[in-house]
Amino acid sequence: MSSPVRSVAVSLCAAVWLTGMLAGCNAQEGSSSKSPSQVAVKVNKEEVSVHQVNDLLSRSGNIPQDQVARARSAVVERLIDQELLLQKAKESKLDRNPNVAQMVEFSRREILARAYSEQIASGAAQPTDAQISKFYDEHPELFSKRRVYSLQEINLQIPPERFDEVRAHLQSGGNLQQLTTWFNEQKIPFAVNAGMKPAEQLPLELARNLSQLNAGQAAFIRTPAGALLLFVVGVRDEPVDRARAKPAIENFLRNQARAESVRAEVKRLREAASINYVGDFAPPAAAEPTAPAEQGPVVSPETSSDDSVQSLIERGGIKLK
């Protein structure tokens, strides 16, 4: 198993194991004191509590009233399966296995760190009507002048030193077929996709740039793997008024404030802490901690460069289908 796949599997196992451990501990801790009304089901000598059932049920989102009984039953069966696996794991002394113990500890650290982050984020200020209105006015490409684009995408795999050469060839003109022929002649690997994208589903900087283009024009973007060429095949205007945009903007600004609160707290903790790197684990001398890129109202970070639009698209975040 490759290391990325193994790391995903390890994380998944850790999460599942920790969930089982916590569920089992909860059942055991209260097994002697729970009244019958607090017990949902007994599995061998262990008990699954009503609280466990309700907690897992609450994580399932909004369930229609006429489906609650069926959903509750499914949750109970899931917890029974989990309890049976947990009991066999303990019989096999897996809880004493060093690798398993390490996974449990790693998941515990992540859960506690996330819980503290959520606690800090919950104190972030709510966006005001003035802030929401300002954001609407500053981003006409997403709202008052919103467009839906029909795009053709060509992902190119080229080394950095060939970027200017390819850009110069693109500026000389040519249709999609002529360009792909040239890419083949130059032995430049590429992949072609096409699809419809409304402006709010694009990175902010890209949406801004595309708003200046008409059908038949294109944007050329530098990426870590090479470059991305986006042809605007068609455009349809679909503006969104202020009232309709308000909930999305409010949600974005709220999340932005929450993220900033967490970043500020991490910065404060770093400044107050004594951090001593050992041996080769020290970061490169020129490296400095950087804050995550600002996000747009959907999922897109906003950055820019002199050469081209730099955005989530650079990291493979957009897949046109």
pLDDT tens for residues 176-217?
788 889 999 999 999 999 999 999 988 888 899 899 999 988
Residue 106 lies in a domain: yes
- Least confident span in 15-29, 56-70, 195-209, 302-316: 302-316
Residues 113 and 171 in one domain: no
What are φ and ψ of residue 227, in 5° steps?
-160, 160
Residues 164 and 306 in one domain: yes
Residue 274 lies in a domain: no
Residue 295 lies in a domain: no
Sign of the CA dihedral running 97, 103, 109, 111: negative
Residues 66 and 33 in one domain: yes
Residue 103 lies in a domain: yes
What are φ and ψ of residue 221, in 5° steps?
-130, 130
What is the model's pLDDT at position 178? 86
Residues 106 and 136 in one domain: no
The last residue of one of the domains, among 94, 121, 148, is 121
Residues 161 and 309 in one domain: yes
Tell me how far apart the alpha carbons of residues 160 and 242 are, in angstroms, rounded to a whole number.
Answer: 42
pLDDT of residue 290 exceeding 60, the answer is no
Give 148's contacts (C-beta < 8 A, 6+ positions apart): 196, 197, 198, 199, 235, 236, 238
> What are 215-225's pLDDT values in tens digits?
988 888 888 88
- Angle, in degrees to the nearest 10, between helices 98-121 and 242-272: 120
The percentage of the chain sitting over the pLDDT mark of 70, rounded to a whole number, equals: 77
Residues 39 and 110 in one domain: yes
pLDDT of residue 13 exceeding 60, the answer is no
- Least confident span in 23-27, 79-83, 275-279: 23-27
Residue 267 lies in a domain: no
The last residue of one of the domains, among 87, 121, 155, is 121
pLDDT of residue 313 exceeding 50, the answer is no
Residues 154 and 211 in one domain: yes
Comparing 235 with 8, which gets the higher pLDDT?
235
How many domains does the chain fold into? Answer: 2
Residue with tokens 């890419």: 183
pLDDT of residue 306 exceeding 50, the answer is no
Residues 91 and 157 in one domain: no
Q: Is the distance from CB of 142 to CB of 248 less than 8 angstroms? A: no
Range of the domain at 234: 131-241+301-315
> What are 31-74's pLDDT values in tens digits?
445 555 799 999 999 999 999 999 999 988 888 999 999 999 99
Residues 115 and 148 in one domain: no
Residues 89 and 213 in one domain: no
Residues 207 and 232 in one domain: yes
pLDDT of residue 116 exceeding 90, the answer is yes
Tell me how far apart the alpha carbons of residues 227 and 302 are, in angstroms, rounded to a whole number.
Answer: 18
pLDDT of residue 321 exceeding 50, the answer is no
The last residue of one of the domains, among 73, 100, 121, is 121
Q: Which two tokens stand for residue 129?
A: 């009507």
Angle at 79 between CA 57 and CA 118, to 5 degrees: 50
